[in-house]
Amino acid sequence: MSVSAKDQELSRTMDQLGMRARQASRVLAGASEQQKNRALSAAADSLRQRLPEILAANARDMHEAREHGLSEALLDRLMLDAERVRAMARGLESIVELPDPVGRILAEWTPPNGLCIQRVSVPLGVIGIIYESRPNVTADAGALCLKAGNAVILRGGSESFHSSSAIHACLVYGLEAAGLPGDAIQMVPTTNRDAVGYLLANMTQYLDVLVPRGGKGLVARVEREARVPVLGHLEGICHVYVDATADPALARKIVVNSKMRRTGICGAAETLLLDRRADTALLGDLLDGLIEAGCEIRADQVLRESHPEFPLATEQDWSTEYLAPVISAAMVDGVEGAIKHIRRYGTGHTESVIARDQAIAERFLGAVDSAIVMHNASTQFADGGEFGMGAEVGIATGRLHARGPVGVEQLTSYKYVVRGSGQVRP
């Protein structure tokens, strides 16, 4: 096929996905809670029933991925086994338990003109989700969009294409079993890499929002090229500030957990800010905790005066999301110094203050303008599940519409329903 014939075929395929999604979104918007939940339960059953097909599809992806020389870390993300598939099914069932976020009366009032005004939650419409290798995102993200009454177009990594297709078939089965249009959850049916560019730039009439899930390269591209609003985050350079008033044992426990529980997630701490006035024993114990857990510490000049064994952090370190057992550490001038450092280098994701002094903690919580600010807790709690939101399609660091975990509630919009009795405007 010539290049332009290929382009034409791609644009036809993508526009059809878009049109079908828009159609389906109208049906979904009017679907009852029972119907949506029935679709999710049936999809969960289907995941369990089709386990052999899913594992076979995954084996095919794993085989190709090994041939392409994917790293062990990526292979692990891609790999499915019976337990992972069962966890996916349980994930869908946990979404059934969430309250329906659509049709809630968010506010209700009657101004002097006598109109009864309600602000009512409605679905966003059609959501595009672009993700990388984890095939379970297909189930999670598809189910969350469905629960919020949205149609969704999924585009996973090409390396997980067969696994995602097998999982997608279960979701479609669930929709149809509940009498809902299968087109409510669609997958881009090609691994053609140009499909991503098309989703970003040419589908403004079909997509209401895009959610990128993946590494910095993917998210940066989506933020740069997308012609529709994007909910997501580019980087999570999360800070933990340890005040001089911190409880030493609590500080050590939280710092180690924030950094080392899982180093590869966006809520992992990347920079430690230490109060200059803090007791050296407190600091020493805390740094020991990190070292014992296997963490490399890159220190600023001031910290190196007492700890010359640490390598010097460069300017670049303060802006680096390591996603690895490495932390940058700076001495700062109390809570104000911490706020200043975070304003300069933070990415607006999650920051935590460890302090016994309540006034200092409140100053930090008020002045640090991140999606999530914490006191005496690990940054690794930055997660929709831990927040009690059930699940999330990701964490957003933009300021509009949704900040922090993007759960079903954040996948809705609202409209005003106004009931009158013949009012005309004077």
Residues 43, 143 contacting (CB under 8 angstroms):
yes
Q: How far is the CB of 389 from its own copies (least distance, A)?
A: 9
| DSSP-based three-state secondary structure for 273 | strand
273 CB neighbour count, 10 Å cutoff: 26
Burial class (CB in 10 A: 0-12, 13-18, 19+), 270: buried
Residues 210, 222 contacting (CB under 8 angstroms):
yes
Burial class (CB in 10 A: 0-12, 13-18, 19+), 94: middle
Separation CA 177–CA 172 (nearest Å): 8
By CB under 8 A, the residues from 47 to 86 that bind its own copies are none
Range in contact with its own copies (rule: CB under 8 A) among 1-9, 151-159, 184-192, 380-388: 380-388
The only residue of 55, 89, 122, 355 in contact with its own copies, by rule CB under 8 A: 122
Residues 243, 357 contacting (CB under 8 angstroms):
yes
* Helix H or strand E segment including 240: strand 238-242
**Applying CB under 8 A, does 375 fall inside the site for its own copies?**
yes
**Applying CB under 8 A, does 422 fall inside the site for its own copies?**
yes
Range in contact with its own copies (rule: CB under 8 A) among 57-65, 296-304, 313-321, 379-387: 379-387
* Helix H or strand E segment including 381: none
Q: How far is the CB of 380 from its own copies (least distance, A)?
A: 4
**Applying CB under 8 A, does 109 fall inside the site for its own copies?**
yes
Q: Residue-wise over 35-68: b if at least 16 C-beta within 10 A, else e?
A: bbbbbbbbbbbbbeebbeebbebbeebbeebeee
Task: Say which amino acid occupies 387.
Answer: F
Measured from the CB atom, the residue of 104 and 307 that comes closer to its own copies is 104
Say how many residues touch its own copies, by CB under 8 A.
62
Measured from the CB atom, the residue of 215 and 366 that comes closer to its own copies is 366
**Applying CB under 8 A, does 253 fall inside the site for its own copies?**
yes
Q: How far is the CB of 36 from its own copies (least distance, A)?
A: 16
**Applying CB under 8 A, does 416 fall inside the site for its own copies?**
yes
Q: How far is the CB of 206 from its own copies (least distance, A)?
A: 13
By CB under 8 A, the residues from 158 to 217 that bind its own copies are 208-209
**Applying CB under 8 A, does 5 fall inside the site for its own copies?**
no
Binding site for its own copies (CB under 8 A): 26, 29-30, 109, 111-113, 115, 117, 122, 124-125, 208-209, 229, 247, 250, 253-254, 256-258, 261, 343, 361, 365-367, 369-378, 380-381, 386-388, 398-401, 403-404, 413-425
